[in-house]
Amino acid sequence: MKMGAMKTVYWSTIINICLALSGVSGHRIVAGTVAAPHSRPYMVFLVSYTANGTYMCGGSLIHENVIMTAAHCNGKSITAYVGIHSVSKAEGANLGIHVTKHYPHPDFNDSTLDNDIMLLRLSRRVKLNKTVDLIPYAHSYTNVSVGTACSVAGWGQTTNTSRVSDVLRVVSVKIREIKPLELNARGNNREGACRGDSGGPLVCRIKKVNTAVGVVSWMSPDDCNDQKRLNMYTKVSAYYKWIIATLKEIPQ
């Protein structure tokens, strides 16, 4: 088991979303800034209902009816909020879309978080526009190197006790380590992802195109302020063939 007991997934319990978001202030993505509204139209806010409670995650829209996220974000049912910036002020036709089928990687291990990637099929196709759009994802031959500048966005926490953010936040990070199935990316200090950011994309500029190269997975140690913590992402390029094969099962 790779650091099993020390791994912390980026969950954030929300008994009632509206209550949890009331009075939210301060930073959320660690040491980041508020994203320009709808500047990342591929971002999706997910609410996952499980036997143990209700949780939030992020995700990215890769087809009009398919979302890519982390497998540990799975639940008995999932609702997707597409094309939003503020959760409490969300409005429009693409809100509260039911996920009809979940496709977690068949080799996902919820103890080690190996193969932490999942596709979700929406109950209907969303209409693409200025606030809702797709993001390209890394091909099997997509290469990134240590030091590559990227960004990560989400509605998650900054500390162990902070609430989730009402608005989408973003922070710049750099790839620090590359493994066969994972990437470690963080800023120069404490900048990076925290709880509630799970499933969101690590976005890097590949051949002048913003591309999802990673999926927010886990961190260690369990401290969002630790400047030496690991911020680990599932390496999308390693799962390209599985993504393509799974998409063939999903009616477009």
Residues annotated as catalytic are: 72, 116, 198
In this structure, what token pair is assigned to residue 150?
């990227």
Which residues have a Cβ under 8 Å from the Cβ of 142 and sit 6 or more positions away? 206, 211, 213, 236, 237, 240
Per the CB < 8 A criterion, the answer to whether 164 and 156 are in contact is: yes
Secondary structure class of 240 (helix, strand, coil):
helix
What is the residue type of 240? Y
User: What's phi and psi for 204, nearest 5 deg?
Assistant: -125, 155
Taking the CA atoms of residue 118, residue 59, residue 152 and residue 55 in that order, the dihedral angle to the nearest 10 degrees is: -100
What's the CA gap between 207 and 34, in Å, rounded?
26
- Cis amide linkage into residue 221, ω under 30° from 0: yes
DSSP notation for 189-214: SS-B--TT-TTPEEEEEETTEEEEEE
